[in-house]
Amino acid sequence: MPLKTPEEYLESIKKPVNLYMFGEKVKEFWNHPIIRPSINTVMKIYELAQMDEYKDIMTTTSHFTGKNINRFTHIHQSVDDLIKKVQMQRLLGQHTACCFQRCVGFDGANALYSVTYEMDKKYDTNYHERFTKYWVEVQNQDLMVDGAMTDTKGDRSKRPSQQPDPDAYLHIVDENDQGIIVRGAKVHQTGFLNSHRVMVMPTLALRPGEEEYAVSFGIDANTKGITLVYGRQSCDTRKLEDGKLDIGNYKYGGQEIFVIFEDVFVPKENIFMKGEVEFSGELVNRFGGFHRQSYGGCKVGVGDVLIGAAALISEYNGTDKASHIRDKLVEMVHLNETLYSCGIACSSLGFQREAGNYEMDMLLANVCKQNVTRFPYEIGRLAEDIAGGIICTLPSEADFKSEEIGSLLEKYLTTCEGLCAEDRYRVLRFIENLSMGVSSVSYKTESMHGAGSPQAQRIMISRQADFEEKKKLVKKILDLE
Protein backbone atom coordinates (compact mmCIF):
# COMPACT_ATOMS: atom_id res chain seq x y z
CA MET A 1 0.00 0.00 0.00
CA PRO A 2 1.84 3.12 -1.19
CA LEU A 3 0.23 5.64 1.21
CA LYS A 4 2.00 5.93 4.55
CA THR A 5 0.07 7.05 7.65
CA PRO A 6 1.58 10.00 9.58
CA GLU A 7 2.64 7.56 12.31
CA GLU A 8 4.33 5.25 9.81
CA TYR A 9 6.15 8.24 8.37
CA LEU A 10 7.34 9.27 11.84
CA GLU A 11 8.62 5.77 12.60
CA SER A 12 10.36 5.57 9.23
CA ILE A 13 12.54 8.65 9.81
CA LYS A 14 13.79 7.49 13.21
CA LYS A 15 17.29 6.68 11.99
CA PRO A 16 20.67 7.88 13.25
CA VAL A 17 22.08 10.87 11.35
CA ASN A 18 25.21 12.95 11.84
CA LEU A 19 23.42 16.12 12.99
CA TYR A 20 24.73 19.15 14.89
CA MET A 21 22.90 22.02 16.55
CA PHE A 22 24.38 24.72 18.82
CA GLY A 23 27.79 23.04 18.44
CA GLU A 24 26.61 19.71 19.79
CA LYS A 25 25.64 16.40 18.26
CA VAL A 26 21.89 15.73 18.35
CA LYS A 27 20.60 12.25 19.06
CA GLU A 28 16.99 11.23 18.41
CA PHE A 29 16.30 14.43 16.50
CA TRP A 30 12.60 13.54 16.23
CA ASN A 31 12.20 14.33 19.95
CA HIS A 32 14.04 17.67 19.83
CA PRO A 33 11.68 20.58 20.68
CA ILE A 34 13.21 22.87 18.01
CA ILE A 35 12.91 20.20 15.31
CA ARG A 36 9.63 18.53 16.23
CA PRO A 37 7.27 21.21 14.79
CA SER A 38 8.91 20.72 11.36
CA ILE A 39 8.19 16.98 11.60
CA ASN A 40 4.57 17.68 12.63
CA THR A 41 4.28 19.75 9.46
CA VAL A 42 5.40 16.88 7.22
CA MET A 43 3.09 14.52 9.13
CA LYS A 44 0.22 16.81 8.12
CA ILE A 45 0.89 15.96 4.46
CA TYR A 46 0.57 12.25 5.23
CA GLU A 47 -2.52 12.90 7.38
CA LEU A 48 -4.43 14.88 4.73
CA ALA A 49 -3.62 12.24 2.10
CA GLN A 50 -5.50 9.70 4.24
CA MET A 51 -8.68 11.79 4.36
CA ASP A 52 -11.55 11.22 1.91
CA GLU A 53 -12.22 14.95 1.87
CA TYR A 54 -8.81 15.70 0.32
CA LYS A 55 -8.30 12.52 -1.69
CA ASP A 56 -8.72 14.19 -5.07
CA ILE A 57 -6.15 16.89 -4.28
CA MET A 58 -3.66 14.97 -2.15
CA THR A 59 -3.50 11.68 -4.05
CA THR A 60 -3.51 10.50 -7.65
CA THR A 61 -2.74 7.49 -9.84
CA SER A 62 0.84 6.66 -10.73
CA HIS A 63 1.41 6.56 -14.48
CA PHE A 64 4.18 4.04 -13.78
CA THR A 65 2.28 1.50 -11.69
CA GLY A 66 -1.40 2.44 -11.75
CA LYS A 67 -1.34 2.56 -7.93
CA ASN A 68 -2.87 5.26 -5.75
CA ILE A 69 0.01 7.52 -4.67
CA ASN A 70 0.62 10.71 -2.72
CA ARG A 71 0.58 13.63 -5.19
CA PHE A 72 3.97 14.75 -3.83
CA THR A 73 5.49 11.74 -5.62
CA HIS A 74 3.63 12.23 -8.91
CA ILE A 75 5.05 13.02 -12.34
CA HIS A 76 2.49 15.44 -13.84
CA GLN A 77 0.47 13.84 -16.62
CA SER A 78 -1.84 16.74 -17.52
CA VAL A 79 -2.62 20.42 -17.06
CA ASP A 80 -5.13 19.33 -14.42
CA ASP A 81 -2.25 17.72 -12.46
CA LEU A 82 -0.32 21.01 -12.59
CA ILE A 83 -3.34 22.94 -11.28
CA LYS A 84 -4.04 20.40 -8.53
CA LYS A 85 -0.43 20.63 -7.40
CA VAL A 86 -0.86 24.37 -6.72
CA GLN A 87 -4.23 23.77 -5.02
CA MET A 88 -2.64 21.09 -2.81
CA GLN A 89 0.13 23.49 -1.80
CA ARG A 90 -2.37 26.20 -0.90
CA LEU A 91 -4.31 23.68 1.17
CA LEU A 92 -1.20 22.64 3.09
CA GLY A 93 -0.16 26.25 3.68
CA GLN A 94 -3.64 26.82 5.14
CA HIS A 95 -3.25 23.85 7.49
CA THR A 96 0.27 24.56 8.72
CA ALA A 97 1.04 28.28 8.12
CA CYS A 98 4.62 27.42 7.24
CA CYS A 99 6.83 25.57 4.78
CA PHE A 100 5.84 21.89 4.60
CA GLN A 101 9.14 20.95 2.95
CA ARG A 102 8.08 18.22 0.53
CA CYS A 103 7.91 20.19 -2.73
CA VAL A 104 11.60 20.48 -3.54
CA GLY A 105 12.21 16.79 -4.28
CA PHE A 106 8.82 16.68 -6.05
CA ASP A 107 9.80 19.57 -8.34
CA GLY A 108 13.31 18.15 -8.84
CA ALA A 109 11.84 14.79 -9.90
CA ASN A 110 9.52 16.41 -12.45
CA ALA A 111 12.48 18.33 -13.92
CA LEU A 112 14.74 15.25 -13.98
CA TYR A 113 12.06 13.13 -15.64
CA SER A 114 12.19 15.12 -18.89
CA VAL A 115 15.87 16.12 -18.75
CA THR A 116 17.06 12.50 -18.31
CA TYR A 117 14.84 11.51 -21.26
CA GLU A 118 16.40 14.17 -23.47
CA MET A 119 19.95 13.32 -22.36
CA ASP A 120 19.41 9.65 -23.25
CA LYS A 121 18.09 10.64 -26.65
CA LYS A 122 21.21 12.65 -27.39
CA TYR A 123 23.86 10.44 -25.78
CA ASP A 124 22.29 6.99 -25.74
CA THR A 125 22.74 6.86 -21.97
CA ASN A 126 20.26 5.16 -19.61
CA TYR A 127 19.60 7.92 -17.06
CA HIS A 128 15.84 7.98 -17.66
CA GLU A 129 15.46 4.28 -16.91
CA ARG A 130 17.59 4.63 -13.74
CA PHE A 131 15.60 7.65 -12.62
CA THR A 132 12.29 5.89 -13.30
CA LYS A 133 13.33 2.86 -11.26
CA TYR A 134 14.46 5.11 -8.41
CA TRP A 135 11.25 7.14 -8.46
CA VAL A 136 8.92 4.11 -8.61
CA GLU A 137 10.45 3.07 -5.26
CA VAL A 138 9.75 6.57 -3.94
CA GLN A 139 6.10 6.28 -5.02
CA ASN A 140 5.66 2.73 -3.73
CA GLN A 141 7.08 3.59 -0.31
CA ASP A 142 5.55 7.10 -0.17
CA LEU A 143 8.95 8.58 0.61
CA MET A 144 9.70 12.18 1.51
CA VAL A 145 12.42 13.46 -0.84
CA ASP A 146 14.53 16.57 -0.50
CA GLY A 147 15.91 18.41 -3.54
CA ALA A 148 19.47 19.69 -3.08
CA MET A 149 20.57 22.39 -5.47
CA THR A 150 22.24 25.41 -3.84
CA ASP A 151 26.01 25.19 -3.44
CA THR A 152 27.98 27.48 -1.13
CA LYS A 153 29.44 29.13 -4.31
CA GLY A 154 32.61 30.64 -2.78
CA ASP A 155 33.73 33.77 -4.67
CA ARG A 156 30.69 34.77 -6.75
CA SER A 157 32.86 36.46 -9.38
CA LYS A 158 34.51 33.13 -10.30
CA ARG A 159 33.28 30.04 -12.13
CA PRO A 160 33.16 26.70 -10.22
CA SER A 161 36.45 25.51 -11.77
CA GLN A 162 38.21 28.79 -10.88
CA GLN A 163 37.36 28.74 -7.17
CA PRO A 164 40.31 28.76 -4.74
CA ASP A 165 38.52 25.89 -2.98
CA PRO A 166 37.18 23.43 -5.60
CA ASP A 167 34.58 22.18 -3.09
CA ALA A 168 32.71 25.52 -3.23
CA TYR A 169 30.49 23.67 -5.73
CA LEU A 170 29.65 20.01 -5.13
CA HIS A 171 31.67 17.90 -7.56
CA ILE A 172 32.90 14.42 -8.45
CA VAL A 173 36.30 13.76 -6.85
CA ASP A 174 36.72 10.13 -7.81
CA GLU A 175 35.12 7.39 -9.85
CA ASN A 176 35.25 3.60 -10.15
CA ASP A 177 33.23 0.78 -11.74
CA GLN A 178 30.65 0.89 -8.97
CA GLY A 179 29.98 4.62 -8.90
CA ILE A 180 31.33 8.06 -7.99
CA ILE A 181 32.63 9.87 -4.91
CA VAL A 182 31.38 13.43 -4.40
CA ARG A 183 32.45 16.32 -2.16
CA GLY A 184 30.95 19.72 -1.43
CA ALA A 185 28.06 21.25 0.48
CA LYS A 186 24.43 22.03 -0.26
CA VAL A 187 22.85 24.84 1.74
CA HIS A 188 19.32 26.09 2.57
CA GLN A 189 18.21 22.45 2.51
CA THR A 190 14.50 22.61 3.27
CA GLY A 191 13.38 19.50 5.14
CA PHE A 192 16.56 17.48 4.52
CA LEU A 193 16.56 15.99 8.00
CA ASN A 194 12.91 14.95 7.69
CA SER A 195 13.49 13.30 4.32
CA HIS A 196 14.16 9.68 3.46
CA ARG A 197 16.03 10.52 0.28
CA VAL A 198 17.57 13.46 -1.51
CA MET A 199 17.94 14.32 -5.19
CA VAL A 200 21.15 16.27 -5.75
CA MET A 201 21.31 18.62 -8.75
CA PRO A 202 23.81 21.19 -10.02
CA THR A 203 23.26 24.78 -8.95
CA LEU A 204 23.89 26.56 -12.28
CA ALA A 205 24.37 26.10 -16.02
CA LEU A 206 27.81 24.61 -16.52
CA ARG A 207 30.27 24.94 -19.40
CA PRO A 208 32.69 22.58 -21.14
CA GLY A 209 35.60 21.99 -18.76
CA GLU A 210 33.24 21.92 -15.76
CA GLU A 211 32.07 18.31 -16.24
CA GLU A 212 32.91 17.24 -12.67
CA TYR A 213 30.28 19.73 -11.41
CA ALA A 214 27.54 18.57 -13.81
CA VAL A 215 26.30 15.83 -11.53
CA SER A 216 22.88 14.72 -10.37
CA PHE A 217 22.01 11.71 -8.26
CA GLY A 218 19.66 10.26 -5.65
CA ILE A 219 20.90 9.25 -2.21
CA ASP A 220 19.55 8.27 1.20
CA ALA A 221 19.54 11.28 3.53
CA ASN A 222 21.52 9.40 6.21
CA THR A 223 24.30 8.08 3.94
CA LYS A 224 27.80 7.77 5.42
CA GLY A 225 29.83 10.94 4.90
CA ILE A 226 26.88 13.34 5.09
CA THR A 227 27.00 15.83 7.98
CA LEU A 228 24.02 18.03 8.80
CA VAL A 229 24.07 21.31 10.70
CA TYR A 230 20.67 22.64 11.76
CA GLY A 231 19.95 26.19 10.57
CA ARG A 232 18.96 28.76 13.20
CA GLN A 233 15.78 30.71 12.77
CA SER A 234 14.68 33.90 14.47
CA CYS A 235 13.35 33.29 18.03
CA ASP A 236 13.89 29.50 17.68
CA THR A 237 14.95 29.07 21.32
CA ARG A 238 11.49 30.12 22.45
CA LYS A 239 10.67 26.48 21.64
CA LEU A 240 13.00 25.46 24.50
CA GLU A 241 11.15 27.56 27.09
CA ASP A 242 8.36 26.36 29.36
CA GLY A 243 4.97 27.12 27.88
CA LYS A 244 4.14 27.44 24.21
CA LEU A 245 2.26 30.70 23.70
CA ASP A 246 5.35 32.83 23.06
CA ILE A 247 6.22 30.62 20.08
CA GLY A 248 3.17 31.77 18.13
CA ASN A 249 2.70 28.89 15.66
CA TYR A 250 3.73 26.28 18.22
CA LYS A 251 2.55 23.16 16.36
CA TYR A 252 4.20 23.66 12.97
CA GLY A 253 7.35 25.06 11.41
CA GLY A 254 9.84 24.77 8.56
CA GLN A 255 13.37 23.43 8.61
CA GLU A 256 16.59 24.45 6.83
CA ILE A 257 19.79 22.42 6.98
CA PHE A 258 23.43 23.07 6.04
CA VAL A 259 24.48 19.77 4.42
CA ILE A 260 28.12 18.76 3.98
CA PHE A 261 29.13 15.86 1.69
CA GLU A 262 32.57 14.54 2.66
CA ASP A 263 33.62 12.01 0.04
CA VAL A 264 30.22 10.41 -0.25
CA PHE A 265 29.87 7.33 -2.46
CA VAL A 266 27.01 7.25 -4.97
CA PRO A 267 26.27 3.92 -6.69
CA LYS A 268 26.05 3.98 -10.47
CA GLU A 269 22.36 3.07 -10.61
CA ASN A 270 21.46 6.26 -8.70
CA ILE A 271 23.34 8.68 -10.96
CA PHE A 272 21.09 10.74 -13.25
CA MET A 273 23.65 13.11 -14.81
CA LYS A 274 27.43 12.83 -15.01
CA GLY A 275 29.31 15.36 -17.06
CA GLU A 276 26.57 16.40 -19.54
CA VAL A 277 27.26 20.11 -19.02
CA GLU A 278 24.87 21.33 -21.73
CA PHE A 279 21.89 19.80 -19.90
CA SER A 280 22.77 21.25 -16.49
CA GLY A 281 21.22 24.64 -17.34
CA GLU A 282 18.00 22.99 -18.53
CA LEU A 283 17.76 20.98 -15.32
CA VAL A 284 18.28 24.10 -13.21
CA ASN A 285 15.72 26.10 -15.24
CA ARG A 286 13.05 23.38 -15.25
CA PHE A 287 13.45 22.74 -11.53
CA GLY A 288 13.42 26.52 -10.91
CA GLY A 289 10.25 26.85 -13.01
CA PHE A 290 8.43 24.07 -11.15
CA HIS A 291 9.44 25.49 -7.77
CA ARG A 292 8.46 29.03 -8.78
CA GLN A 293 5.05 27.62 -9.72
CA SER A 294 4.91 26.00 -6.25
CA TYR A 295 5.18 29.36 -4.53
CA GLY A 296 1.92 30.45 -6.16
CA GLY A 297 0.30 27.82 -3.93
CA CYS A 298 2.23 27.39 -0.67
CA LYS A 299 2.71 31.08 0.15
CA VAL A 300 -0.92 31.80 -0.74
CA GLY A 301 -2.06 29.22 1.83
CA VAL A 302 0.12 30.84 4.50
CA GLY A 303 -1.21 34.23 3.35
CA ASP A 304 -4.78 32.97 3.92
CA VAL A 305 -3.90 32.21 7.54
CA LEU A 306 -2.18 35.56 8.07
CA ILE A 307 -5.16 37.43 6.59
CA GLY A 308 -7.39 35.40 8.94
CA ALA A 309 -5.18 36.38 11.89
CA ALA A 310 -5.32 40.07 10.90
CA ALA A 311 -9.12 39.92 10.59
CA LEU A 312 -9.39 38.14 13.94
CA ILE A 313 -7.14 40.58 15.79
CA SER A 314 -9.09 43.53 14.40
CA GLU A 315 -12.19 41.92 15.90
CA TYR A 316 -10.40 41.33 19.23
CA ASN A 317 -9.13 44.94 19.19
CA GLY A 318 -12.59 46.31 18.37
CA THR A 319 -11.37 47.91 15.14
CA ASP A 320 -13.04 45.53 12.70
CA LYS A 321 -15.78 47.99 11.70
CA ALA A 322 -13.33 50.78 10.81
CA SER A 323 -13.37 51.34 7.04
CA HIS A 324 -9.58 51.64 6.73
CA ILE A 325 -9.17 48.24 8.43
CA ARG A 326 -11.67 46.64 6.03
CA ASP A 327 -9.80 48.24 3.15
CA LYS A 328 -6.44 46.89 4.36
CA LEU A 329 -7.89 43.40 4.65
CA VAL A 330 -9.28 43.69 1.11
CA GLU A 331 -5.85 44.79 -0.12
CA MET A 332 -4.27 41.74 1.57
CA VAL A 333 -6.76 39.45 -0.19
CA HIS A 334 -6.15 41.20 -3.51
CA LEU A 335 -2.39 40.64 -3.23
CA ASN A 336 -2.76 37.06 -2.06
CA GLU A 337 -5.20 36.10 -4.82
CA THR A 338 -2.92 37.76 -7.39
CA LEU A 339 -0.20 35.30 -6.36
CA TYR A 340 -2.65 32.43 -6.65
CA SER A 341 -3.75 33.65 -10.08
CA CYS A 342 -0.12 33.47 -11.20
CA GLY A 343 0.25 29.93 -9.82
CA ILE A 344 -2.92 28.78 -11.57
CA ALA A 345 -2.11 30.67 -14.78
CA CYS A 346 1.35 29.14 -15.27
CA SER A 347 -0.19 25.72 -14.59
CA SER A 348 -3.13 26.28 -16.98
CA LEU A 349 -0.74 27.12 -19.82
CA GLY A 350 1.30 23.98 -19.10
CA PHE A 351 2.53 21.85 -22.00
CA GLN A 352 3.67 18.32 -22.67
CA ARG A 353 7.37 17.46 -22.90
CA GLU A 354 8.70 14.80 -25.24
CA ALA A 355 9.11 12.48 -22.26
CA GLY A 356 5.32 12.63 -21.84
CA ASN A 357 5.14 14.65 -18.62
CA TYR A 358 3.61 18.11 -18.28
CA GLU A 359 5.47 21.29 -17.39
CA MET A 360 4.23 24.76 -16.37
CA ASP A 361 4.62 27.85 -18.55
CA MET A 362 8.12 29.16 -17.82
CA LEU A 363 7.45 32.89 -18.27
CA LEU A 364 4.37 32.93 -16.06
CA ALA A 365 6.05 30.76 -13.39
CA ASN A 366 8.84 33.32 -13.17
CA VAL A 367 6.36 36.21 -13.04
CA CYS A 368 4.60 34.29 -10.25
CA LYS A 369 7.74 33.96 -8.17
CA GLN A 370 8.81 37.55 -8.86
CA ASN A 371 5.51 38.70 -7.31
CA VAL A 372 6.10 36.31 -4.41
CA THR A 373 9.36 38.15 -3.65
CA ARG A 374 7.24 41.26 -2.92
CA PHE A 375 3.60 40.67 -2.01
CA PRO A 376 4.04 38.60 1.18
CA TYR A 377 6.11 41.49 2.58
CA GLU A 378 3.26 43.89 1.87
CA ILE A 379 0.68 41.45 3.27
CA GLY A 380 2.87 41.12 6.38
CA ARG A 381 3.24 44.90 6.66
CA LEU A 382 -0.54 45.31 6.59
CA ALA A 383 -0.99 42.55 9.20
CA GLU A 384 1.46 44.37 11.50
CA ASP A 385 -0.36 47.65 10.86
CA ILE A 386 -3.72 46.11 11.79
CA ALA A 387 -2.38 44.22 14.84
CA GLY A 388 -0.68 47.27 16.39
CA GLY A 389 2.73 47.77 18.00
CA ILE A 390 1.82 45.36 20.77
CA ILE A 391 3.09 42.43 18.67
CA CYS A 392 6.60 43.44 19.69
CA THR A 393 6.03 44.85 23.19
CA LEU A 394 3.92 42.04 24.64
CA PRO A 395 5.24 40.59 27.94
CA SER A 396 6.14 36.90 28.07
CA GLU A 397 3.76 34.02 28.69
CA ALA A 398 5.45 33.50 32.08
CA ASP A 399 4.41 37.05 33.11
CA PHE A 400 0.96 36.61 31.61
CA LYS A 401 0.45 33.45 33.66
CA SER A 402 2.28 34.68 36.79
CA GLU A 403 0.41 34.46 40.08
CA GLU A 404 1.65 37.89 41.08
CA ILE A 405 1.12 40.02 37.97
CA GLY A 406 -0.84 37.75 35.62
CA SER A 407 -4.25 39.11 36.64
CA LEU A 408 -3.03 42.69 36.12
CA LEU A 409 -1.79 41.90 32.64
CA GLU A 410 -5.02 40.11 31.87
CA LYS A 411 -7.04 43.12 33.05
CA TYR A 412 -5.09 45.52 30.81
CA LEU A 413 -4.89 43.18 27.81
CA THR A 414 -8.65 42.60 27.82
CA THR A 415 -10.39 44.54 25.08
CA CYS A 416 -14.01 43.97 24.09
CA GLU A 417 -16.56 42.51 26.43
CA GLY A 418 -16.91 38.75 26.22
CA LEU A 419 -13.47 38.28 24.63
CA CYS A 420 -10.74 36.35 26.36
CA ALA A 421 -7.36 38.13 26.85
CA GLU A 422 -5.48 34.87 26.25
CA ASP A 423 -7.06 34.42 22.80
CA ARG A 424 -5.89 37.91 21.90
CA TYR A 425 -2.44 37.09 23.28
CA ARG A 426 -2.26 33.95 21.12
CA VAL A 427 -3.25 35.72 17.90
CA LEU A 428 -0.81 38.59 18.54
CA ARG A 429 2.02 36.09 19.06
CA PHE A 430 0.94 34.25 15.92
CA ILE A 431 1.20 37.43 13.85
CA GLU A 432 4.57 38.22 15.46
CA ASN A 433 5.71 34.69 14.57
CA LEU A 434 4.82 35.13 10.89
CA SER A 435 6.17 38.68 10.72
CA MET A 436 9.47 38.36 12.57
CA GLY A 437 9.66 34.98 14.31
CA VAL A 438 10.41 31.45 13.12
CA SER A 439 7.62 31.42 10.53
CA SER A 440 8.83 34.66 8.95
CA VAL A 441 11.53 32.45 7.43
CA SER A 442 8.84 30.43 5.67
CA TYR A 443 6.69 33.39 4.75
CA LYS A 444 9.15 36.16 3.95
CA THR A 445 12.78 35.07 3.49
CA GLU A 446 11.80 31.95 1.54
CA SER A 447 9.51 34.10 -0.58
CA MET A 448 12.49 36.30 -1.39
CA HIS A 449 15.21 33.69 -1.94
CA GLY A 450 13.57 30.26 -2.22
CA ALA A 451 13.48 28.89 -5.79
CA GLY A 452 16.00 31.61 -6.67
CA SER A 453 16.44 35.22 -5.61
CA PRO A 454 14.54 37.97 -7.51
CA GLN A 455 17.30 38.53 -10.08
CA ALA A 456 17.15 34.88 -11.15
CA GLN A 457 13.52 35.38 -12.19
CA ARG A 458 14.30 38.66 -13.95
CA ILE A 459 16.91 36.90 -16.07
CA MET A 460 14.37 34.23 -17.03
CA ILE A 461 11.68 36.84 -17.68
CA SER A 462 14.02 38.77 -19.98
CA ARG A 463 14.86 35.55 -21.87
CA GLN A 464 11.23 34.59 -22.31
CA ALA A 465 9.81 38.05 -22.98
CA ASP A 466 10.47 38.16 -26.77
CA PHE A 467 10.94 41.92 -27.09
CA GLU A 468 11.46 41.59 -30.86
CA GLU A 469 7.95 40.24 -31.25
CA LYS A 470 6.60 43.13 -29.18
CA LYS A 471 8.47 45.68 -31.34
CA LYS A 472 6.96 44.08 -34.44
CA LEU A 473 3.48 44.71 -33.04
CA VAL A 474 4.13 48.43 -32.95
CA LYS A 475 5.67 48.43 -36.42
CA LYS A 476 2.63 46.65 -37.80
CA ILE A 477 0.17 49.09 -36.25
CA LEU A 478 2.18 52.14 -37.33
CA ASP A 479 3.15 50.78 -40.75
CA LEU A 480 6.86 51.14 -39.89
CA GLU A 481 9.54 49.45 -41.98
Residues with catalytic roles:
99, 103, 190, 256, 291, 295, 298, 446
Asked whether the beta carbons of 304 and 377 are under 8 A apart, the reply is no
The least CB distance from residue 144 to ligand SF4, in Å, is 11
Which of ligand SF4, Fe ion, none has residue 73 at its interface (CB below 5 to 8 Å by kind)? none
Give the residue with the Cβ less far from ligand SF4, 167 or 361.
361
The least CB distance from residue 432 to ligand SF4, in Å, is 21
Binding site for ligand SF4 (CB under 6 A): 99-101, 103-104, 190, 294-295, 298, 446, 450
Considering only residues 450, 456, 457, 460, which one is a binding residue for Fe ion as defined by CB under 5 A? 450
Q: If binding is defined by CB under 5 A, does position 446 make contact with Fe ion?
A: yes
Give the residue with the Cβ less far from Fe ion, 62 or 439.
439
> Cα–Cα distance between 120 and 124 in angstroms, integer?
5
Give the residue with the Cβ less far from ligand SF4, 38 or 280.
38
Contacts of 330 (CB under 8 A, 6+ apart): none
Could you tell me how many residues of this chain bind Fe ion (CB under 5 A)? 2
Give the residue with the Cβ less far from Fe ion, 343 or 450.
450
Give the residue with the Cβ less far from Fe ion, 144 or 325.
144
Which of ligand SF4, Fe ion, none has residue 460 at its interface (CB below 5 to 8 Å by kind)? none
> Cα–Cα distance between 20 and 107 in angstroms, integer?
28
The least CB distance from residue 440 to ligand SF4, in Å, is 13
Tell me the per-residue interface mask from 394 to 433 with Fe ion, x by CB under 5 A, - otherwise. ----------------------------------------
The least CB distance from residue 101 to Fe ion, in Å, is 8
Which of Fe ion, ligand SF4, none has residue 194 at its interface (CB below 5 to 8 Å by kind)? none
Which of Fe ion, ligand SF4, none has residue 457 at its interface (CB below 5 to 8 Å by kind)? none
Q: Which residues bind Fe ion (CB under 5 A)?
A: 446, 450
